[in-house]
Amino acid sequence: MRSIRNSPKRAVNLTLNAKVLDMAREMGMNISQTVDALLTEEVLRQHWQRWNEDNKEAIAHYNARIEREGLFSDRYRSFMRPETAAEAEPDAA
C-alpha cells in the first residue's frame, strides 16, 4: 500500500457528537488532526485485515510448505540446531 500518511488534505463536513466536540475544543485539541490520525489508523487496520483475509489460503499453503520442506537457509543456521552430546559436555582434561 502506498504511503497515505503524508497525502494532501481535503476539506470535508463531519457530523460529530456536540458534547464531545465542545469538550475537545475546551481541551485545545486539534479536531482535524485528531480525526485524521484516528481515521488513518482505522483505514490501515481494515486494509491489512482484508489483505490477510484475501490471502489466507496462500499464506496457509506457504506455511505448510515451509513446515514440510523447511527454509532454504536452515542448513546455515547454527543457532537453531540442537546441541550434540559432544558439544554439551566440557572437556574432562
pLDDT tens digit string along 60-81? Answer: 999 999 999 888 887 777 766 6
16-40 residue pLDDT tens: 999 999 999 999 999 999 999 999 9
Residue 5: predicted pLDDT: 80
3-state DSSP call for residue 65?
Answer: helix
- For residues 5 and 54, the model is more confident at 54
Residue 89: predicted pLDDT: 60
3-state DSSP call for residue 69?
Answer: helix
* Domain boundaries along the sequence of the chain: 18-81
CA distances (Å), origin 12, targets 7, 8, 9, 35, 48: 15, 13, 9, 11, 25
Q: Give the cell for residue 61.
A: 499453503
Q: How far is CA 37 from the centre of its chain?
A: 17
What's the whole-model pTM score? 0.65
